[in-house]
Amino acid sequence: MDTQGDVLMQRYEIGKLLGHGNFAKVYHGRNVTTGMSVAIKVINKNKVLKAGMMTHIKREIAVMRLVKHPNIVQLYEVMASKTKIYFILEYVKGGELFDKLAKGKLKVEVARKYFAQLVSAIGYCHNRGAYHRDLKPENLLLDDEGNLKVSDFGLSALVETKRQDGLLHTCCGSPAYVAPEIIDQKGYDGAKADIWSCGVVLFVLLAGFLPFHDSNLIEMYRKITSARFRFPSSFPVEAKSLVSRMLDPNPVTRISITGIIEHPWFTTGSVSDPLTKSETVVSSSGYRLEQQQQTVPSGVNCNAFDIISLSRGLNLSGLFNESCENEEEVRFMLKKSASIIISKLEEIAMSLKMRVVKNNEVFLQMESLTQGKNGYLVICFEVFEIMPNVHLIEAGLVGGDKFEFREVMNEHIKPTLSV
């Protein structure tokens, strides 16, 4: 049993209980070596297994490892015992945005700041092929400097969890924030569903109450599917068109992340951590990528834990008594600069007649132009700097056949890069 004062695996002292749910408890913790505060999420493994939720836990780990952004709660480490799984997370001590809203609506500039940071984080997730699917003020935390941090990726999804129709089908999310296409259960675009939820959040920030609310859940769902809501008289005029376009019941015509960033209300005034202009790219595999142009140094520095956690010998699937073999990820190290690695990847893509989508100096995506037996092959590459001129290359299968992925990696990518 984990109690206050215990030291977890000789590394983290467990402090007071911060909160709890059906499968997990969250404690304040302290790194006994550095003294740094952390949040320790303790998951009951037996409860998760009995509820058939282990896939959700594994997906949460995968998504949180994938998304590293200043407005997303950072996952530092994952550990496990026979009965429990431990997430060591960034400690965000400012509380939930929900608590701030309990006092009423926010000032326009404060709301704009939080909304800009939310859009920055969610746009980044979408660009990495990850969808949150449970955005609400309770899952938006504030740090001690007043910056927003997106948390709780327990209901998140990745591109590869889509079916062959390119859509997600799991009905999830919080009723008041859920998109109408999820209620209709006809399949939905995860990015568009997240944008709807962001629209509800923006309405709440500026109005102080929910746009869709009814004591009768069925009636509330009717309001959501027809987008029946009213702006209060105090609602900023310039923001009405943006919220209306985000709360468009038709996901096809609903505004994109690019449209949000370019909207006059979003660009008005001084917003901390401003976003640069984005471009929308429709890939050959048929899904939409919202590409945020971010300033990234030539190579992302990894600390010792990052390197260890990426090691195949410590693959997290081993926590769940399954094979450590991962047929959808490949990692290897090279003594070459990031620019040379990315340049060689572009040359390889050209020789294989694959399309290239570049986001920055260390992230690249290859997409086949012809459809294979399991769709279009899509591979994402990210380059991490371990030390000067030594880089870790992480390649992940986003779409297509895993055997074709292995063939391309083993016969083309790795041999060519190694030369």
Mean pLDDT score, 148-160: 77
Q: What is the CA radius of gyration of the chain?
A: 22
Q: What is the CATH number of domain 97-285?
A: 1.10.510.10
Residues placed in the known binding site = 41
- DSSP character at residue 184: H
Q: What is the CATH number of domain 300-418?
A: 3.30.310.80
| Average pLDDT across the chain, whole number | 80
Among 16-30, 112-126, 303-317, 359-373, which stretch is predicted with the lowest mean pLDDT?
303-317
> What is the per-residue pLDDT for 315?
38
Q: Of these residues, 2, 99, 134, 152, which one is catalytic?
A: 134
Q: Is 184 a catalytic residue?
A: no
Which range of 96-100, 282-286, 305-309 scores highest in mean pLDDT? It is 96-100
* CA nearest to 180, candidates 151, 220, 209, 152: 220
| Residue 61 in this model has a pLDDT that exceeds 70 | yes
Tokens of 167: 């859509």
Same CATH topology for 7-90 and 300-418? no
> What is the per-residue pLDDT for 387?
64
Residues placed in the known binding site for ATP = 41
Residue pLDDT, tens place only, 215-226: 888 899 999 999
Mean pLDDT score, 275-295: 33
| Residue 284 in this model has a pLDDT that exceeds 60 | no
Superfamily of domain 7-90: Phosphorylase Kinase; domain 1 (3.30.200.20)
Cα 258–chain centre separation: 17
Residue pLDDT, tens place only, 29-54: 999 999 999 999 999 988 888 877 78
Residue-range domain boundaries for the chain: 7-90, 97-285, 300-418
* CA nearest to 268, candidates 71, 106, 116, 105: 116
Mean pLDDT score, 233-246: 95
Expressed in angstroms, the distance from the first to the final Cα of the chain is 52
> What is the per-residue pLDDT for 71?
93
Q: What is the largest CA-CA distance in the chain?
A: 66
Record the pTM. 0.63
CA distance 406 to 417: 15
* CA nearest to 203, candidates 148, 154, 136, 300: 136
CA atoms within 13 Å, Cβ hemisphere of 72: 23
